[in-house]
Structure 1
Amino acid sequence: MIRFAADDGRMLAYDDCGKGTALLCLAGLTRNMDDFEPVVDAFADRARVIRLDTRGRGGSDHDPDFMNYNLIREGRDALNLLDHLGLPKAAILGTSRGGLIAMMLAAGHKDRLTGICLNDIGPLVEPRGLAHIMTYLGIPPDYSDYDDAARRLEASMSDRFPGVTRNQWRSYARRLWRQSDHGLALRYDPALRHAVMEQSATDALPDLWPLFDALQGLPLALIRGVHSDILSPETAAEMRRRRPDMIYAEIPDRGHTPFLDEPDAVAAIAILLERISKCPST
């Protein structure tokens, strides 16, 4: 893990490994670069996998103004990292909120992108999924350690993630939380909760379809968990209608979000990278 200064002085953590097509990985709302360990394992021999801890997450600085936890600022952070690395362009693999950042960048900075893979996110976010996120956002978990978390996650998540082993849940827990003297603790700024609440105070979800339509002309892939409560089958179907060339993988036995180690997810990312490598503009 390395750190660099964003244009407002916040120190942000990232990792950069592999050679080939630059693939910038942007994690979900409360997540961090560790979620993309399977991507490093699968693709570092054929892609330059760059993983960013968005401000307030993982090893990046917390922002004293929680309103800076927004898609525009986080998109600027991603561009700041590309500038820091001297990269004029990169593909983005965006999980959940990371995919929303990718769509925002396509609308305003399309010239910096070579392609996009959206992991379980689209231009219409299901309210029931958002409601579920608010049940835990910013609240420390009550797990004593990673083994306790793995045991209880295996029991509570079996409807959306059937067949996931206890060892897989332990890896999940290690990526999301850190061990403290008082049990597991958050690896992100709990003020994210206040940011989300303030920014959604009107209860009106913005129309993001224009952002999705801005992806036109870019190689595009979509990965969806079959049990997702964030990306509905209907929204995925409309995305496919608008972009019939879009690579699509629906991952069985996964909810929000697929882990990206599933064979179909790996295959979708591989096809996207191949398409990008054949585009003369990249």
Structure 2
Amino acid sequence: MPRFAVPDGLELHYTDTGEGPAVLCLAGLTRNSDDFRFVLPFLPDYRVIRMDYRGRGLSDRAEDISTYSIVQEAADAVALLDHLGIARATILGTSRGGLIAMLLAASHPERLRGAILNDIGPEIAPGGLDRIMEYVGIPPAYADYAEAADGLAAAMAPRFPGVTRDRWRLHAELIWAEREGGGLDLRYDARLRDALRGQAGAGPAPDLWALWDALARLPVTVLHGANSDLLNAEILARMQARAPGMRAVTVPARGHVPFLDERESLVGILDHLKDHA
């Protein structure tokens, strides 16, 4: 199980597969490196590195939850590139991973060849954060994966019409763990909820549009779930206006976030890598 140590002593889990131009995959807020399992088979010509952030997946939990931050996670991503001897990489960033890509574009532009953002921008649509806080840090109430598959299929149908129960079961297996004695548990540190609350109470949020402007100087593709409640068409249009060279790809019948193996997602990802990796 590959792991590496970051400067504050934590050991973080990663996978490193394939050969070719480097693609660093950065997952969503509560997700882990399995976020990219569905797209991995379509990237045989690239060196694909997937990292579990601190406190997620198989990485160590932090004693200091204030380090569950985008700033620290960006520093950890650079530390992983250094550990692997990779000078430059393309970021494939889902949700929070896209925010990290923006910060890296501002702080370490020399390490990026460009970025592919999965349903995220420098502004969150109204209501999106409220929905996230409804579940962050709270173990699911499902008794097992079969019940989770049924629950997800019903709850997600309005934003993800047509997704099969089998896919939702696999999704449940990737984001939750079976608990001894029954039930499902989180695959991340539940204190992430407290970290988010602490950051929200520390003052006004930073202006992420400045970070977007930094990323806009690099090749960038944005995948947009047509039914997303985090990245809406209005925000996407404002991003395009500030980044005329941006490629925008709308993925139909998907909310936040596309799985990345949809036809539209794959075209966006592979076209970007063919031209810029």
Aligned to 2:219: 219
Letter in 2 for 1:266: L
Aligned-residue Cα RMSD (Å) equals 1.1
For 2:127, what is the secondary structure of its paired residue? helix
Is the 8 Å Cα contact of residues 225 and 257 (structure 1) preserved in structure 2? yes
Is the 8 Å Cα contact of residues 161 and 255 (structure 1) preserved in structure 2? yes
Matches within 5 A, 1:3-42: 3-42=3-42
The more displaced of 142-151 and 240-249 is: 240-249
Is the 8 Å Cα contact of residues 2 and 15 (structure 1) preserved in structure 2? yes
1: distance between equivalents of 2:228 and 2:115?
A: 20
2: distance between equivalents of 1:32 and 1:67?
A: 19
2: distance between equivalents of 1:266 and 1:213?
A: 25
Letter in 2 for 1:118: L
Q: Deviations over 1:46-88 (max 9, x none)?
A: 1111000000000000001110000111001000000000011
For structure 1, the 5+ residue unaligned runs are 278-282
CA shift at 1:203, angstroms?
Answer: 7.0
Is the 8 Å Cα contact of residues 216 and 242 (structure 2) preserved in structure 1? no
Residues 202 and 83 of structure 1, relative CA distance in 2, 3 Å threshold? closer
2: distance between equivalents of 1:207 and 1:126?
A: 15
CA shift at 1:274, angstroms?
Answer: 1.1
Aligned to 1:63: 62
Matched, 1:180 2:157: no
Letter in 2 for 1:152: G
For 1:30, what is the secondary structure of its paired residue? coil
Matches within 5 A, 1:148-167: 148-167=147-166
**TM-score, with normalisation over the residues of structure 1?**
0.95
Is the 8 Å Cα contact of residues 219 and 275 (structure 1) preserved in structure 2? no
For 2:253, what is the secondary structure of its paired residue? coil
For 2:212, what is the secondary structure of its paired residue? helix
CA shift at 1:242, angstroms?
Answer: 1.8
Letter in 2 for 1:168: R
CA shift at 1:225, angstroms?
Answer: 0.5
CA shift at 1:215, angstroms?
Answer: 1.4
For structure 2, the 5+ residue unaligned runs are none
Aligned to 1:280: none
**TM-score, with normalisation over the residues of structure 2?**
0.97
2: distance between equivalents of 1:126 and 1:205?
A: 14
CA shift at 1:202, angstroms?
Answer: 5.5
Letter in 2 for 1:160: R
For 1:210, what is the secondary structure of its paired residue? helix
1: distance between equivalents of 2:115 and 2:39?
A: 15
Aligned to 2:110: 111
Matches within 5 A, 1:61-210: 61-181=60-180, 182-201=182-201, 204-210=204-210
CA shift at 1:217, angstroms?
Answer: 3.0
Matched pairs, number: 276
2: distance between equivalents of 1:143 and 1:81?
A: 35
The more displaced of 169-178 and 237-246 is: 237-246
1: distance between equivalents of 2:8 and 2:39?
A: 30
2: distance between equivalents of 1:205 and 1:263?
A: 35
1: distance between equivalents of 2:42 and 2:65?
A: 35
Q: Deviations over 1:118-154 (max 9, x none)?
A: 1000001124010001111100101111111001110
2: distance between equivalents of 1:124 and 1:202?
A: 19
Aligned to 1:268: 268
Q: Deviations over 1:153-191 (max 9, x none)?
A: 101111111111001101110110011123110000000
4+ long deviations beyond 3 Å: 202-205
Report percent identity of matched pairs: 52
Letter in 1 for 2:20: G
CA shift at 1:205, angstroms?
Answer: 3.4
